[in-house]
Amino acid sequence: MALLEVENLRTYFYTLRGVVKAVDGVSFELEKGETLGIVGESGCGKSTLAWSLLRLVPPPGRIVGGQIRIDGKDIVGMSESEVRREIRWKRISMIFQGAMNALNPVYTVGDQIIEPLLLHTNMTKQEALERARELIEAVGLAPSILERYPHELSGGQKQRVVIAMALALKPDIVIADEPTTALDVVVQAQILNLMKKLHQEEKMSIILITHDLGVVTELSEKIAVMYAGKIVEFGRAEDIFENPLHPYTKALIRAVPRLKGDIHKLEYIPGTPPDLRSPPPGCRFAPRCPRRFEPCDKEEPPIIEYSKGHYVACWLYTKR
Amino acid sequence: MSHAYRVELGEEILRVQDLKVWFPIKRDISDILLRKPQLYVHAVDGVSFNIRKREIFCLVGESGCGKTTTGKALLRLVPVHSGKAFFKPRKETLEILDAMGVKSENGFVELFGLKDSQFRPLRREIQMIYQDPYGSLNPRFRIKDVLEEVLLVHKIGSTKEERLEIIAKALEMVKLTPVEEFIDRYPHQLSGGQRQRVAIARAIIGNPSLIIADEPVSMLDVSIRAEILEVLLNLRTLLDVSFIFITHDLAVARYICDRIAVMYLGKIVELGDAREVIADPLHPYTEALIAAIPDPDPANRLKFRDLKIKGEVPNAVFIPPGCRFHPRCIYYEQHKETDKELEQLCPVVEPPLSEVKPERYVSCYRYPSIREIVKSGLPTVNKKE
């Protein structure tokens, strides 16, 4: 049994202008100590997926179907208080997007780090501060940071603090939602190095959510490519990059300029992603797909295992 | 290495010399009474470069390095502390300027010496594209109003029909077709990529000769970036326009630019052919920057990135003396023991930007020729005020 099993998860937003199917039937598994990257463009549902895993979907959104099992125990049906007591921060925690805004400006860093420790464990304030000091050192900062306020820190330091907070209760799974998006490349490389180190030393499972194909390969053993609320391809990072199957994955990889090698003419995907209130009836990528053929507009392709551990949802690879 | 988009470059059209943009820090009454010195944020601190016709010239660097401020200074959108920028406008514009009594030399006018009213005709020639297509278009203007405004301000096209025709042509150039379908829409009815194309159409509609594009694709999704880059690449041959392309993304710079200038803390530290600079960086900072960029390759997962840089970017108020990069420089750290001369140079005298290989400029004492320049006391050295 995998550590985390997500099965047919659906998260919809009930807006006044219709139901937005942000996550619409997503399934995947995550083993202990594994790193999974979820890539996709803006609006593909990757952040909503992250919020769903923590049961923190903001209204008017809610999980309308499927299961999220941690060690076989479903958390979708759990009461909010049970999730808060048993799951959030303890089993699964999150490094939020835009660390700049994830910290409370009127509390010192130390106060913010010890808060989950005081709430979730029986530690005294002294013990909690001791643990906070350990955490701060583990993310490569000086303990004096604990007495500082967020505005006194640089972007990279703030991001490290947010990572330290996510690690406070030694969770099994850490979700990192665009952890380096607002940072400069040098700082980004430092943060990614830190996450690699923590992954190796603490044997944490990491789910890395990003739009950046370069960042995702830095950390992920497996990659899920999302498009319009669905996973269209899933496999080992090597499979995805060396032998991409789905036309969307292929196009995405060819759309990114590289730093090395010959300069090829970049490709782009014409059109825009569908409106998730009324997605197209068949494959959601079909209207933009260069290889569209007869079944694509009519019927949604099932996700199949094309080769061992390499899954794809595309009619090109499916016998009907 | 071949690149389909490389085009023949024309004559020089812009020459920037020792541009400085310093923002004064407000002093309160006690500072004034105590006679504390006026402090400045040295956003741009002595930048020189030139641009040729049809060239795409990149300014790259991390946030806060002054790349955007440099672009804005050329449009006189920020107060310039010192320095000069000589710009060669088209003939028609030059005639207008002549009639206003503006002095020109070989067709070049100095931008920062002009009065505001004299600069106005030049605004048609130097245009800007902003990063955020959601913020740069007035939400209450239709696409046609956005574009017509430029024409009205610069008195292009005498009748409404004539203006509509110019608008249609501009939209075709940025591939927003069929034109009739877009012309009456409001910005909120367009996608990010389409909005950015409207912003580009607005920049080109007055037939400019220089466009300053400030991170034009950074906010767009990967799958549509390439489309916008292609539109920009086509424009330079269609319109004979040059670009200053400001970006933090070196891979994009490598793809689109002819030459790049790497900026650090308000200064250009390296300048040269885009592909050469990225394949073989000469300045330790450029090297560190390139080493930090994650290239999409699954093999990277298994190794830690070797960061060839120490610490964080210092405050632009108190610029380190000598080479402004030396406190973070690994080369200096590793070589100062064996190469005693470095200790007398790096933290003391600012290295000038000079040519160390054909068409490759760098400001670093790693190169003996730069040490020679400084030791012989040539006046290229910028003393710190």
> A272-297: per-residue pLDDT in tens?
888 888 888 899 999 999 998 888 98
Other beta carbons less than 10 A from residue B79's beta carbon? 11
Other beta carbons less than 10 A from residue B123's beta carbon? 16
Distance from CA of A11 to the nearest CA of B (A): 23
Mean pLDDT of B151-166: 91
Query: Residue B385 has what pLDDT?
Result: 38
Residue A109 to residue A133: CA distance in whole angstroms:
11
At residue A116, what is the residue type? P
φ and ψ at A15, to 5 degrees?
Answer: -95, 170
Contact B62 A269 (CB under 8 A): no
CB of A190 within 8 Å of any CB in chain B?
Answer: yes
Alpha-carbon dihedral angle through residues B45, B51, B57, B63, given to the nearest 10 degrees: 10
CB of A264 within 8 Å of any CB in chain B?
Answer: no
Pick the residue from chain A with its C-alpha nearest to B301: A218
Tell which residue, A106, A100, A113, has the closest CA to residue A139: A113
Q: How confident is the model at residue B381 (pLDDT cuts 50, 70, 90)?
A: very low
Distance from CA of A251 to the nearest CA of B (A): 7
Distance of CA B288 to the CA centre of its chain: 21
DSSP A37-84: EEE--TTSSHHHHHHHHTT-PPTTEEEEEEEEEETTEESSSS-HHHII
Residue pair B241/B211 in contact (Cβ under 8 Å)? The answer is: yes
Angle at the Cα of B339 (from B333 to B345), degrees rounded to 5? 75
Distance of CA B101 to the CA centre of its chain: 30
Residue pair B247/B219 in contact (Cβ under 8 Å)? The answer is: no
Residue A63 to residue A23: CA distance in whole angstroms:
9
Q: How confident is the model at residue A99 (pLDDT cuts 50, 70, 90)?
A: low
Residue pair A157/A183 in contact (Cβ under 8 Å)? The answer is: no
Residue B42 to residue B30: CA distance in whole angstroms:
23
At residue A71, what is the residue type? D
Residue B159 to residue B148: CA distance in whole angstroms:
11
Tell which residue, B99, B136, B127, B97, has the closest CA to residue B113: B97
Number of H helices, E strands in chain A: 10, 12
Task: Tell me which residue in B1, B294, B296 faces A241 most closely, judged by beta carbons.
Answer: B296
Task: Tell me which residue in A156, A212, A217 faces B301 most closely, judged by beta carbons.
Answer: A217
Mean pLDDT of B330-339: 91
Residue in the block written with tokens 């490094």:
A95
Query: Residue B223 has what pLDDT?
Result: 85
Task: Output the six-digit token pair for B262.
Answer: 């790497």
> B99-127: per-residue pLDDT in tens?
998 888 889 999 999 999 999 999 999 99
Residue pair A66/A76 in contact (Cβ under 8 Å)? The answer is: yes
B1 pLDDT exceeds 50? no
CB of A114 within 8 Å of any CB in chain B?
Answer: no
> A149-168: per-residue pLDDT in tens?
988 888 888 888 988 888 88
Task: Tell me which residue in A214, A240, A259 faces B254 most closely, judged by beta carbons.
Answer: A259
Mean pLDDT of A63-71: 93
Mean pLDDT of A88-95: 89
At residue B97, what is the residue type? L
- pLDDT > 90 fraction of chain B, expressed in percent and rounded: 63
Contact B226 A184 (CB under 8 A): no
Judge if the upstream peptide bond of residue B187 is cis by omega within 30 degrees of 0: no
Give, for B283, the enclosing helix (H) or strand (E): none
Tell which residue, B121, B137, B132, B242, has the closest CA to residue B188: B137
Which of A268, A288, A289, A310 is the mutation pick for testing B, counting most B CBs within 10 A? A268
Compute the 3-state secondary structure of chain B and give helix, strand, coil in percent, each to the nearest 5: 35, 20, 40
Query: Residue B328 has what pLDDT?
Result: 93
Give me the count of residues in chain A: 320
Residue pair B235/B207 in contact (Cβ under 8 Å)? The answer is: no
